[in-house]
Amino acid sequence: MTEQSGGEVEQTREFTVQFQRLIRRMLEDLPDDSGGDALEPVLTEHLGVPSAGLPVVSEPVPHHRAVDADLALEAVAGDDAHARVIGLSGDMRHHLTLGDILQHGPRGPVRVGQVDYDRLDTGPAADQVRQVITSGIWLLRFEGRPAAVRVQGSAPQYGRQEGRLEVLAPDRDAADALVTRLRELMDELSVLRGKVVTLVDEPFGHGFAGITFVPRPDVDASAVVLPDGLLDRVVHHVVGMGEHRSRLRDAGQHLKRGVLLYGPPGTGKTHTIRHLLARTPGTTAVLLAGGSLRHIHAAASIARAHQPAIVVLEDCDLVAEDRSFGMGPSPLLFEVLDTLDGLDADADVAFLLTTNRVEDLEVALAQRPGRVDLAAEIPLPDAEGRLALLRLYGGHLFSAEAMSTATARTEGTTASFTKELVRRAVLAAAIADEPPADDHLGIALDELLSDGERLTRSLLGVDPGAGDDAEPGPAPFPPAGRPRRGGFHAYAPGGGAAYRG
């Protein structure tokens, strides 16, 4: 490399300076191909003060509250005849906060452009959908003062698990007041209120709790066959306590309640919960099952904001089993139990926990007393129960004698077994092209109790050994050391499958 002389250095420097000037001129003369006007002047004109230096008040909006935020903004805008939404252009709109955008000045990468929308559910029916703004800025007036609210939906593909509102106003107090009002309106207008929902994971990532609306189940008390007085006790605790909320509160008694339903698979824990949900129209219910129990905080905050509420925590044993951090009950289970404790005692919220392996929960529950104030065992049906179940599912089809014979042969089986038995009998009749009759009940029973159906019995929650040739007697409970059975109907995708219809 040869040394540059002093004159050459000077020349190079001069060239660089000129070249920079040229580039700058070219950029300035370049037609604006980003398509939109600069954002800053629009905001400045609306607010009446230079927008660039103003503080931005940001409010996170979980994905499952996006519709509520949209409704709240529309309500505030409704008081202002000149309110309007402007959109944003440029890919950087997905990444930059409003403060960042304004910092970039008039030539920044985000300009006035199109408003982005998403269609989100507002209820379980196919036509319960709302177009919700996922990117845009409301220009409106609140309490007589101008404000701008930037809306950004959650976008896990860009690493944003939650959406947010960013409020810009001429002074900080005005921005804070608007945020407070928006929060109130979100709870007031919430589409979750009085509905039954499950929190589900989207394929994108962990913390992303989308919401699925589930039709409220329609299970009458007459369709729930349990030992005398058991259903009443549970209903009284969950529903009755809510009905007397004001008296309990006046007397300084806590309203929050926790009920644990435990017992073998297929005996009616989920069925009982479906009945409780049917009994409580107007109560907001959040259903979590197995892995989705991770969303317990979101569920608790929905419950708090939408009282009266029920939070269902199905199959808690699955969580108890997750001992990723060594021995003992899983940290997630403690987190669940602590969340139950964290909610105000006078909140009208009922937590309903189910498990078919209560021994896995016992340690954790004993270490965190006070979370559950009623533990009800949902047992295998006794002879009287099995007869009642046969009457419920097939009473109009078979004679009293055939049903009593079947009752004797089904010792140790579950309620879901009896339900399947009747279905098989009807199927056997259909195959024979005959109306269902006693013979078909016998055929179906032979089939279900045969060796070839061991796995079926297991899936119906029945001890696989149960059957005519096996030792009679109830299936051992707790089913120590056996894999969890019969849970398929309980935690299908979305966690709400067991509740549909």
Residues of this chain that bind Mg ion (CB under 5 A): 269-270, 490
CB contact set of 331 (below 8 Å; sequence gap of 6+):
324, 325
Identified binder of ligand ATP from the candidate list 62, 242, 486, 494, rule CB under 6 A: 486
* Euclidean distance between CA atoms 217 and 238, whole angstroms: 16
Question: Sheet of 349-355: strands edge to edge?
Answer: 209-214, 196-201, 284-289, 309-314, 349-355, 257-262, 374-377
Q: Please choose, out of 2-10, 32-40, 174-182, 264-272, the segment that lies near ligand ATP by the rule CB under 6 A.
A: 264-272
Which of residues 99 and 478 has its CB atom nearest to ligand ATP in the complex?
A: 478
E strands, 159-208, are 163-168, 196-201
Q: Which does 108 bind (CB under 5 to 8 A by kind): ligand ATP, Mg ion, none?
A: none
- Contact of 348 with 238, CB cutoff 8 Å: no
Shortest CB 490 distance to Mg ion, Å? 4
268 sits near ligand ATP (criterion: CB under 6 A): yes
Report in angstroms the alpha-carbon separations of 284 from 215, 258, 351, 386. 12, 16, 12, 33
Write the binding mask 328 to 357 for ligand ATP: x where contact by CB under 6 A, - elsewhere: ----------------------------x-
Shortest CB 378 distance to ligand ATP, Å? 6
Q: How big is the chain, counted in residues?
A: 501
Q: Please choose, out of 62-70, 99-107, 415-423, 450-458, the segment that lies near ligand ATP by the rule CB under 6 A.
A: 415-423
Backbone angles phi, psi at 74, to 5 degrees: -65, -35
Beta bridge partners of 149: 138, 167
283 sits near ligand ATP (criterion: CB under 6 A): no
307 sits near ligand ATP (criterion: CB under 6 A): no
Shortest CB 318 distance to Mg ion, Å? 11
Q: Which of 73, 74, 86 is nearest to 114 (CA)?
A: 86
Shortest CB 46 distance to ligand ATP, Å? 56
Q: Are strands 309-314 and 196-201 parallel, antiparallel or unpaired?
A: unpaired
Q: Please choose, out of 68-76, 101-109, 401-409, 486-494, the segment that lies near ligand ATP by the rule CB under 6 A.
A: 486-494
Number of residues in contact with ligand ATP under rule CB under 6 A: 23
Which of residues 353 and 490 has its CB atom nearest to ligand ATP in the complex?
A: 490
Which of residues 312 and 444 has its CB atom nearest to Mg ion in the complex?
A: 312
255 sits near ligand ATP (criterion: CB under 6 A): no
Which of residues 223 and 443 has its CB atom nearest to ligand ATP in the complex?
A: 223
Shortest CB 475 distance to ligand ATP, Å? 12
Which of residues 158 and 488 has its CB atom nearest to ligand ATP in the complex?
A: 488
Backbone angles phi, psi at 211, to 5 degrees: -125, 140
* Euclidean distance between CA atoms 274 and 352, whole angstroms: 11
- What is residue 88's three-state secondary structure? strand
- What is residue 222's three-state secondary structure? helix
Identified binder of ligand ATP from the candidate list 89, 270, 283, 284, rule CB under 6 A: 270
Q: Which of 51, 225, 232, 63 is nearest to 146 (CA)?
A: 51
277 sits near ligand ATP (criterion: CB under 6 A): no
